[in-house]
Amino acid sequence: MANRNFHVHLVSDSTGETVSSVARACLVQYEGIFVQEHVWSLVRSPAQMEKVMQAVERDRGPVLYTLVDPELRDVVRDHCRRLQLPCVGVLDQAMSVLAVHFHSKSEQWPGRQHQLDEGYFDRIDAMHYTLAHDDGQSTHDLEDADVILVGPSRTSKTPTCVYLANRGVRAANVPLVPQVPPPVELEEARRPLIVGLITDPERLVQIRVNRLRLMQQDTESEYTDMDTVQSEIQEARRLYARRKWATIDVTRRSIEETAAAILQMLATRREQRLQST
């Protein structure tokens, strides 16, 4: 039964990010199959939907959708019923529960989560700040950050910061370089949440070697020496303990999991500050 091939159609009246994320979160749980995803975004008219349904009939497979227009939803359901294909509105149950709880009907507004509101501009501002403060740049205004990630080279600081910026978090990162003291601005920062990242030395060596190979550089150096890397991690641990910074081991964490842990820390910190005022 291995290596089976399937088609899945993801239909959205907006960018398709939501339905794609839900589909992939589900599909990774199945091994031994190959799924070709057909993403149909910005589908907002019957004519566009008709073309999508023609493709569904040609490459038959389940249809997952996020559509707010009742007419378009009916078209998808009716067509899939005729083809005897599964059809799932990935937000339907959540929206139904919320409508009952709020005693209110939802607005029929495609892509409303992407509107240019204050939250959107906050995310843009956060991204600008994060890019300007990547890898120890512009340390003079670290106090303006929401969170500062600290750690040895290749501990996922930059991608985690970018992920956080997409959530509206002003995230800076500062690398720990052997024999080089951290910048004074980091030591003096009081407002930001400072999080130290560590990882397994063997895993870190492997990541660094692969990185150097991609850059066609020499892989034999202190940068990839096991003893040196172990010393880096130990020194990082001592620094975090001395400064009483939060610590996250990213060895077996994805970027999303690390970011989720940091967001939880930020939420807890905000609650504590509110309670103290």
Q: Which residues are annotated as a binding site for ADP?
A: 151-158
- Classify the phi-psi angles of 246: left when phi > 0, otherwise alpha if psi is within -120 to 50, otherwise beta: beta
Two tokens at 228?
Answer: 């040196």
The binding site comprises: 151-158
String of DSSP letters for 50-76: HHHHHHHHHS---EEEE---HHHHHHH
Distance between CA 94 and CA 92 in Å, rounded?
Answer: 6
If you count them, how many residues does the chain have? 277
- Residue 261 phi/psi, 5° resolution? -65, -40
Contact present, 95 and 110 (Cβ < 8 Å): no
Residue with tokens 């339905």: 19
**Does residue 118 sit in helix, strand or coil?**
helix
Residues 6+ apart with CB under 8 A from 170: 125, 126, 129, 130, 144, 145, 146, 147
E strand spans, the chain: 4-12, 33-40, 63-66, 87-89, 147-152, 171-176, 193-198, 246-249
Q: Supply the angle between the helices 46-58 and 70-83 in degrees, to the nearest 10.
A: 20
What letter would DSSP give residue 218? Answer: -
